[in-house]
Amino acid sequence: MKSAGEPQGADPRDERKGEAMGPKAGREEPAGMPAAHPGEKTDYDTLCRQAEELLKQEPWYVSALSNLSALIYAALPDLNWAGFYLLRDGRLTVGPFQGKPACIHIPVGRGVCGTAIGRDETLNVPDVHAFPGHIACDSASASEIVLPVHADGRAAAVLDIDSPRPNRFSAEEEAGLKRLVRVMEAGLRFPPAGGE
Ligand code: SME
């Protein structure tokens, strides 16, 4: 039973974020981690600056993509998954992400992620159930946006963001995320093609 004064119906993600993102004595905060609230607009100028700062501190793709997925998951409200799939041995393999465990391999041309990298274009899907071949890693997902990430002129990965809210990603959000991906591409250090 809840005691008087305890928040009712609070989003558990807020509590988790407070714990994970709040200032801790003696701990270095990488870039002033944000905390999103449902329905709130994302400030992409700030997000791009934070991403730049993280990439400056460590451009190696494993560290950078880990922190970038955490940054996106914390800054954008109403998400259930945010992370990366990397092109490896001719197929997409799951990389750093936030959310529930996801499908490990996605063939190029399959699902939203495989289609986005196959065509080398952003796919903004307002209703995943209407997308032929959508791969449902988390049944909570209702809409999804997938953006290719390039290294040395080739599409090397995708940024995949899922929301439990239909039609979550407006044209304005898509433009903001494209800017964020340009920042990543400028700062990331990927392994050379075929390397680890
Ligand atoms: N829905 C994606 C699969 C990845 S999960 O959403 C994390 C797709 O159709 O490619």
Which atom belonging to ligand 1 lies closest to the Cα atom of 81?
7
Mutate to test the pocket of ligand 1, among 103, 105, 110, 169 (most ligand atoms within 8 A of CB): 103
The tokens of 71 are what?
Answer: 């940054």
Q: Do residues 68 and 48 lie in contact, with contact meaning Cβ atoms separated by under 8 Å?
A: no
The residues that bridge with 76 in the sheet, in sequence order, are none
Neighbours of 125 (CB within 10 A): 23
- pLDDT, residue 32, reads 59
Convert the pLDDT of each residue in 4-33 to its tens digit. Answer: 333 333 333 443 443 333 333 444 445 556
Ligand 1 center to residue 12 CA distance, Å?
24
CA-CA distance, 102 to 81, in Å (whole number)?
9
The model's pLDDT over 116-165, given as tens digits with 9 standing for 90+, comes to 999 999 999 999 999 999 999 889 999 999 999 999 889 999 999 999 99
pTM score over 0.85: no
C-alpha span between 124 and 131 (Å, rounded): 10
Residue 101 to residues 30, 80, 104, 132, 150, Cα–Cα distance (Å): 25, 11, 9, 22, 25
Q: Which domains does the chain have, with CATH numbers?
A: 41-187 (3.30.450.40)
The CB of 137 under 6 Å from ligand 1? The reply is yes
